[in-house]
């Protein structure tokens, strides 16, 4: 991405790393450091991500854990939760009111995050009828999101023969987000895993009677609810 990322975008990214996984696991040997993962998600260099993490630490939003991993402080967590909630409400407004597609909404919402006051966001939320989820399936209320995390799994964890419903799509990668929609893999779609390539490089799923190959990156970014 050409433009620099704001504090809020970093907090949003750290939030996404912290909560879909459920917890921050200390990075063991061979695992990428947090700054590397943040850099990868934002498409910036490891050095710029490291610098921004230092700033977030100085501002009291992030602290270093036992193994030097970055974790959100209570203040950082509150701020990050406000940022993601705001982002999701703006996305609902972009798709529900301005007619943008779900694929387009995420990047526009990132650009608009700082444009609206908290009061404007609450008014927007009311006008939209308090939507439960963003267009990509992420709950607007973060407490609900975190509770629901336990019920979901990335597609990559499913075995052949398992059936599931797509609930959420990873949205930090614009190209991948468009790929999900172009391939009919939107929230609410029912899928069945037909095959899993050894090593998890690719998963073949059936959706709407059509088989599709889903690469490892996409399979890690599709969050599903297993059929009962
Ligand atoms: Zn979204």
174 vs 1: CA distance, rounded Å? 11
- The stretches of 160-228 forming alpha helices (DSSP H) are 174-182, 216-220
From ligand 1's centre to the CA of 131, what distance in Å?
12
At the second CATH level, the architecture of 152-226 is: Roll (2.30)
pTM of the entire structure?
0.86
Looking at the DSSP assignment, which residues form a beta bridge with residue 70?
64
Going by pLDDT thresholds of 50, 70 and 90, the confidence category of residue 79 is very high
> Which is nearest to 169 in space by CA: 142, 136, 193?
136
* pLDDT on residue 14: 84
112 vs 117: CA distance, rounded Å? 11
Tens digit of each residue's pLDDT (9 = 90 or more) over 82-139: 999 999 999 999 999 999 999 999 888 888 877 899 999 999 999 999 999 999 999 9
Map tokens 């193994």 to a residue.
67
Provide the CATH topology of domain 7-72.
Arc Repressor Mutant, subunit A (1.10.10)
Angle at 1 between CA 35 and CA 105, to 5 degrees: 105
From ligand 1's centre to the CA of 66, what distance in Å?
32
From ligand 1's centre to the CA of 135, what distance in Å?
5
Map tokens 């991993």 to a residue.
69
Q: Which residues contact 82 (CB under 8 A, 6 or more apart)?
A: 118
From ligand 1's centre to the CA of 180, what distance in Å?
13
Average pLDDT, the chain: 87
Question: Looking at the chain, how many residues does it have?
Answer: 228
Residue 79 main-chain phi, psi, to 5 deg: -65, -45
From ligand 1's centre to the CA of 106, what distance in Å?
6
156 vs 193: CA distance, rounded Å? 10
Structure tokens at 9: 């975008």
From ligand 1's centre to the CA of 134, what distance in Å?
5
From ligand 1's centre to the CA of 124, what distance in Å?
16
**10: three-class secondary structure by DSSP:** helix
From ligand 1's centre to the CA of 123, what distance in Å?
19
Instruction: CATH 1.10.10.10 in the chain: give the residue spans.
Output: 7-72, 77-149
From ligand 1's centre to the CA of 67, what distance in Å?
32
Cα–Cα distances in angstroms (integers) from residue 182 to residues 109, 114, 132, 176, in the given order: 20, 30, 24, 10
Residues 177-205, mean pLDDT to the nearest whole number: 93
Q: Tell me the CATH number for domain 77-149.
A: 1.10.10.10
Instruction: CATH 2.30.30.90 in the chain: give the residue spans.
Output: 152-226
């Amino acid at each position: 991405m050409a433009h620099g990322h704001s504090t809020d975008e970093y907090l949003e990214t750290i939030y996404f790393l912290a909560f879909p996984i459920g917890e921050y696991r200390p990075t063991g040997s061979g695992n990428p450091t947090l700054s590397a993962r943040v850099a990868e998600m934002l498409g910036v260099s490891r050095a710029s991500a490291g610098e921004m993490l230092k700033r977030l630490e100085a501002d009291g939003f992030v602290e270093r854990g036992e193994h030097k991993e970055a974790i959100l402080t209570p203040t950082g967590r509150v701020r990050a939760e406000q940022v993601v909630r705001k982002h999701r409400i703006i996305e609902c407004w972009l798709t529900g009111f301005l007619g943008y597609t779900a694929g387009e909404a995420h990047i526009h919402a990132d650009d608009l995050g700082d444009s609206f006051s908290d009061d404007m966001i609450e008014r927007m939320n009311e006008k939209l009828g308090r939507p439960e989820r963003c267009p990509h399936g992420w709950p607007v209320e973060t407490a609900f999101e975190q509770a629901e995390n336990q019920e979901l799994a990335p597609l990559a964890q499913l075995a052949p023969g398992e059936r599931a419903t797509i609930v959420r799509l990873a949205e930090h990668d614009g190209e991948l987000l468009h790929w999900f929609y172009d391939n009919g893999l939107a929230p609410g779609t029912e899928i069945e895993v037909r095959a899993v390539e050894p090593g998890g490089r690719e998963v073949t799923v059936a959706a709407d009677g059509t088989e599709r190959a889903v690469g490892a990156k996409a399979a890690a970014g599709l969050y599903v609810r297993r059929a009962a």
